[in-house]
């Protein structure tokens, strides 16, 4: 069988940790930042770990070789 292709959008949005968890960027930090509280902007700076259910979906459908 030929190799499976990784979704290009997933390559840009997700990274895998060493233990196989999926790391993603936090949403709601691109525009209209004047209206958002400082605490929300501060917490959205880094990345976060996806939940187990979302991790399963991303790894199965979008990152086929990230198992």
47: helix, coil or strand?
Answer: strand
38-42 long-range contacts (CB < 8 A, ≥24 apart) are none
pLDDT given for residue 40 in this prediction: 96
Torsions phi, psi of 26, nearest 5?
Answer: -85, 145
**pLDDT value at residue 66:** 80
Write phi, then psi, for 30 (nearest 5 degrees).
Answer: -100, -40
Q: Which residue has the tokens 């509280």?
A: 37
pLDDT at 62 over 80: yes
Residue ranges and CATH numbers for the domains of the chain are 8-62 (4.10.410.60)
Q: In this predicted structure, what is the pLDDT of residue 61?
A: 93
- Tell me: the pLDDT tens digits for 4-48? 999 999 999 999 999 999 999 999 999 999 999 999 999 999 999
Q: How confident is the model at residue 50 (pLDDT cuts 50, 70, 90)?
A: very high
């Amino acid at each position: 069988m030929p190799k499976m292709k990784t979704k290009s959008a997933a390559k840009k949005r997700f990274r895998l940790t060493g233990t196989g968890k999926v790391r993603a960027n936090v949403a709601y930090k691109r525009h209209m930042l004047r209206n958002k509280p400082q605490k929300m902007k501060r917490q959205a700076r880094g990345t976060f770990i996806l939940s187990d259910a979302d991790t399963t979906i991303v790894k199965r459908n979008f990152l086929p070789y990230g198992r």
